[in-house]
Structure 1
Amino acid sequence: MSESTKVSSAPTDVLVIGAGVTGIYQLYRAREVGFTVKLIEAGSSVGGTWYWNRYPEARFDSESYTYGYLFSQELWEEWEWSERFAGQPEIERYFNHVVDRFDLRRHMVFGAKVTSAVFDEASGTWTVTTDDGTERRARHVVAATGILSVPFVPDIPGRADFRGDQHHTGRWPKEPVDFTGKRVAQIGTGSSGVQIVPAIADEVARLTVYQKVADWATPLNNGPITPEEQAALKADFESIRETLNTSASGFLHQITMRSGLDDSPEQRQEFYEQRWNGPGFTKLSEHYYDMTTNQTVNEEWCAFIAGKIRDIVKDPDTARKLIPKDHGYGGRRPPFVTGYFEAFNKPAVELVDVNETPITRITETGIETPDGSREFDIIIWATGYDFGTGALNRLGVRGRQGLALKDHWAEGPSTYLGVAVAGFPNFFFPGGPHGALGNNPRYAGDQVDFVTDVLVHTRDHGHDIVEVTAGAEQEWTDLVNDSAAQSSFLTSSYFYGANIPGKPIRQLLNPTGRWKLQELIKEAATGGYQTFAFSKPADPEA
């Protein structure tokens, strides 16, 4: 009987759900400390976000080497990223290399989508069922399902009637989509949307981009990593690892520790030009420390970007639509672009602001607006994700007394350090809601290390069940919710769930930042994990 159809008898110590950057690391850590392990993944291979998001020009906007793993110097030295911001094919190769390099694939099962995860109080174990009917028992479940793993498609009337091809950027087919000579509609201009527009602009017969919200997009400024840079990265592994493990952002960037108002207007313009020409997130993380909080500086920086857009985009009306009007820089997650604004100078590319010209319905042949109907061969949905809680709420998780996690979170998530919730023993979700803010693999890695240490403590002290206390959960959740003023993000962003109709508008990030998370992790460890309750099952033979 194959693994995919076998029903396990003896429970696995640790069952990981999801083979993305967090799940792979959790599998590695749990195995290295001696647990029996299994990882199940809905896709056919590893990579998580970087398995599903394979649309043209999908790539990092975190520096490649800051996104990868830091647990092995040998891995760091043997893998050479070709670009500062690697593309999806290279990223997927990296994760496959890691899995094979550390012999993790034999612990993995693919094509296994979880439909339910139910805790049995008598035995203190979880039964996890996948869509083929297979049940697997586990002492501990770690749901590393990610925050950007459930694509959202708006419920526009007639969507099912369209007779052409439809693709969401988060569920892109493995076989390349042929855009040659096609009439293409793209709905959405977030981080994935701004990447795909210039990638296909020269192939299509026509590309109509439907924009709901303009974002403050700035250049990614990608480039190859030179041999000299490769050598420096390898030589500086220890210091780089120390910086990435301790920095607030999880990047190698250094914030400019002066107020924008300490510089003259002329000096600020020079500084803005430097930031514009800098790589990726340095526009945010190496800016003046008060750029997001000082209205004068923020407005001036936005005016600088607006001027750049007007200089690049030839049509004044298109430039007007591309300049945000409802938020300053940092109010939403800033996207980073290569040739995005320039694409709108091509005769085949058109921008439609759906606030001015709303989509009324999808027809069999295209899209209808108050201006009339347009025919398309392909519709691209670049409409984002059910961020933070979307994947966890779809796992069918039930804890003590059959409590559904989805019901427990009906008014928004409550967590302890973004990894656990009371009433759901032996269940963890590093990389989920209420984690931190910055380079995802870095703070999710902090959480994986914490979860692993908690599991080791549980085992080494003779316990089978570990559950965060309701008081610890409430204290952390209150801190996260009460610290909203520390974040620049608006409640209208997807970081609050505002993009999903009917979803409660709640904090999904950790505005207190990574350092606070690390501080409380250390405090929990030195205190003997008093924020958890430990026990034995009522009937271990059940």
Structure 2
Amino acid sequence: MPDYDAIIIGAGMSGLYQLYRLREQGFRVRAFEAATDVGGTWYWNRYPGARFDSESYSYGYSFSKQLLEEWEWSEHFAGQPETLRYLNYVADKFDLHRDIQFRSRVTAAVYDEGSRSWTVTLENGSRFSTRFLITAIGPLSTPTLPRIEGREDFKGASFHTARWPKESVDFTGKRVAVIGTGATGVQTIQTIASQVGHLTVFQRTPNWCAPLHNGKIDAETQAKIKAGYPEMFARCKETFACFLHTPDPRGAFEVSDEEREAFYEKLYGERGFGIWQGNFRDILIDRKANATISDFVARKIRQRVKNSAVAEKLIPKNHGFGTRRLPLETFYYEVYNQDNVELVDIMETPIERITPEGIRTSDKDYEFDIIIYATGFDAITGSFDKIDFRGVGGARLKDKWRQGPETYLGIMVHEFPNMLMLMGPHTALGNIPRSIEYSVDWVTGLIKFAMERKLTRLEATPEGVKSWTDHVKALGEGLLSNEVNSWMTGINSNVEGKQTRIVARYSGSAPAYRARCDEVAAKGYDELRLG
């Protein structure tokens, strides 16, 4: 008999909830976590300014009424320290720590056909066997550093945003470089600009950003939030991507120019993702419609940045508004009005190398005390590539996915029996915790079904994988976002072999995704090979 009924890799939001659900069913379960504590994304990403861009109350778990009544979010969009406290509160409340082994990085997982079980190997060489293997390793958990010569030569301090030190970093009077202007770069830049002596931002590709409009939650609002949880979570189930926002049913040209402008002004002044997720239904599929919102936000950038040359550098020219995941900001653009902040366009003057003193571009040498790499992640498949997954006959998952992921419902892979992925490729992402809870509940239902019937082998069929993968690819056709190089299309110039676009995410609606998965469960999982 295997050591465990289920092993979970990871103790972030999905791993914690999966552990809770399986233990609730009485199964023997163990979670292995590389970090020293729970939290996943919110453990590692402790860089200055890290916070939600989904409303806090829509981001937390919904499974426990008592938890919802007890916990009070202090801000509409909580910062990383508060979120990490929340996840530790959850782990303590449900006594989850006792079934998690920390400082335990999984390096390999091998399926054995004879015993119908997985052997999981940790970095220290210890091994454990399990009937079911559940990956809770996150779509954005493998940071990437730029392929620039000389990184090891720099004599100052350097950090990747996703591997920030636990101790605070003193920026007072320091010469600081930030490489990257994606979501983490934006949050870091706007937070430290007032603390540093001088800040130099190295930008390759500007991103469209919109105001977050964060604020404290007062007692009256707190009471309304708690009273309205059932309706709010019901709404999240109905919306396209599980956010509080859903597309406006009108097209951008079904209203007058004045109405359209007023609508954009309204969205620009409201909290959160409304301007992205609650905009006209056609802005992400029709170029002319997208041009109207792109032009609007470009005008806002020009209004907010005093130097017109700098403003033009901050306006994207190679993709339309919302076709990449939208960073939300708080006075980010105003940072570039400060005398101690400089923007360097590395498309014009590329970085040639990191020097012992700083950074050399084709134009000049810069000296720095601190370099911050806000260079993102090897997204969606990167966390799978870091582990040597081997299925039937020693098949390597990395080889199987070399031309892009192929999955069944984003949860299973042919030739990898009893392996179940939470938030893997081809699943509905959106407001991730809402998707996590559904995915965990579905996986728990499948394992319970198998255990009750003494089934020891669950596998996706090649037909099922092809059908789902083709469906996911078809859903992406016509979306402007799938024509753009970004982590959502699998592009990462810092990772060898990831310079070709793939369809790595499900781009249909979350309700449609759940309906399909519910259909499979209702039919007794007869689309799987069960044994």
Question: What TM-score do you get using the length of structure 2 for normalisation?
Answer: 0.97
- State how many pairs are aligned: 527
Q: CA deviation at 1:41?
A: 0.4
Tell me the residue number matched to 1:391: 383
Alignment partner of 1:260: what SS?
Answer: coil
5 Å matches for 1:124-523?
A: 124-485=116-477, 487-489=479-481, 490-499=483-492, 500-503=495-498, 504-523=500-519
Distance 2:64 2:314 in 1: 43
Tell me the residue number matched to 1:6: none
5 Å matches for 1:13-162?
A: 13-162=5-154
Distance 1:529 1:61 in 2: 36
Q: CA deviation at 1:296?
A: 3.2
Distance 2:434 2:3 in 1: 30
Distance 1:247 1:452 in 2: 24
Tell me the residue number matched to 1:5: none
Indicate conservation of the 8 Å contact 1:73/1:237, yes or no.
Answer: no
Distance 2:455 2:319 in 1: 51
Greater displacement, 349-358 / 495-504: 495-504
Q: CA deviation at 1:237?
A: 2.2
Indicate conservation of the 8 Å contact 2:324/2:484, yes or no.
Answer: no
Cα distance per residue 1:491-533 (max 9 Å; x no partner): 4111112124422421111022312211211110121101211
The one-letter code sitting in structure 2 at the alignment partner of 1:505 is R
Distance 1:408 1:274 in 2: 47
Distance 1:244 1:505 in 2: 30
Indicate conservation of the 8 Å contact 2:211/2:268, yes or no.
Answer: yes
Runs of 4+ in 1 over 4 A off after TM superposition: none
Indicate conservation of the 8 Å contact 1:466/1:532, yes or no.
Answer: yes
Q: CA deviation at 1:267?
A: 1.4
Distance 2:501 2:284 in 1: 22
The one-letter code sitting in structure 1 at the alignment partner of 2:487 is Y
Indicate conservation of the 8 Å contact 1:330/1:488, yes or no.
Answer: no
Q: CA deviation at 1:486?
A: 5.1
Q: CA deviation at 1:10?
A: 4.6
Indicate conservation of the 8 Å contact 1:64/1:83, yes or no.
Answer: yes
Distance 2:436 2:368 in 1: 41
Cα distance per residue 1:63-92 (max 9 Å; x no partner): 111111110111111101011100000000
Indicate conservation of the 8 Å contact 1:116/1:396, yes or no.
Answer: yes
Distance 2:183 2:394 in 1: 38
Distance 1:236 1:130 in 2: 44
Indicate conservation of the 8 Å contact 1:435/1:444, yes or no.
Answer: no
Question: What TM-score do you get using the length of structure 1 for normalisation?
Answer: 0.95
Indicate conservation of the 8 Å contact 2:153/2:354, yes or no.
Answer: yes
Distance 2:262 2:290 in 1: 15
Indicate conservation of the 8 Å contact 1:486/1:511, yes or no.
Answer: no
Indicate conservation of the 8 Å contact 1:430/1:444, yes or no.
Answer: yes
Tell me the residue number matched to 1:4: none
Alignment partner of 1:305: what SS?
Answer: helix
The one-letter code sitting in structure 2 at the alignment partner of 1:506 is I
Alignment partner of 2:121: what SS?
Answer: strand
Tell me the residue number matched to 1:3: none
**1:526 alignment partner, one of 522, 526, 531:** 522
Cα distance per residue 1:303-353 (max 9 Å; x no partner): 111111111111111101001111111221111101110111111111011
The one-letter code sitting in structure 2 at the alignment partner of 1:278 is E
Cα distance per residue 1:433-461 (max 9 Å; x no partner): 11114111112322211111111111111
Cα distance per residue 1:19-43 (max 9 Å; x no partner): 1111111111111122111111000
Quickly say closer, same or farther: Cα 1:459–1:346, change in 2 above 3 A. same
The answer for unaligned runs of 5 or more in structure 2 is none
Distance 2:4 2:123 in 1: 19
Distance 2:490 2:203 in 1: 19
Indicate conservation of the 8 Å contact 1:343/1:349, yes or no.
Answer: yes
Alignment partner of 2:130: what SS?
Answer: strand
Quickly say closer, same or farther: Cα 1:291–1:494, change in 2 above 3 A. same
The one-letter code sitting in structure 2 at the alignment partner of 1:213 is T
Indicate conservation of the 8 Å contact 1:275/1:282, yes or no.
Answer: yes
The one-letter code sitting in structure 2 at the alignment partner of 1:497 is G
The one-letter code sitting in structure 1 at the alignment partner of 2:410 is G
Q: CA deviation at 1:244?
A: 2.1
Distance 1:32 1:244 in 2: 25
Indicate conservation of the 8 Å contact 1:437/1:513, yes or no.
Answer: no
Pairwise CA RMSD: 1.3
Identity, % of aligned pairs? Answer: 46
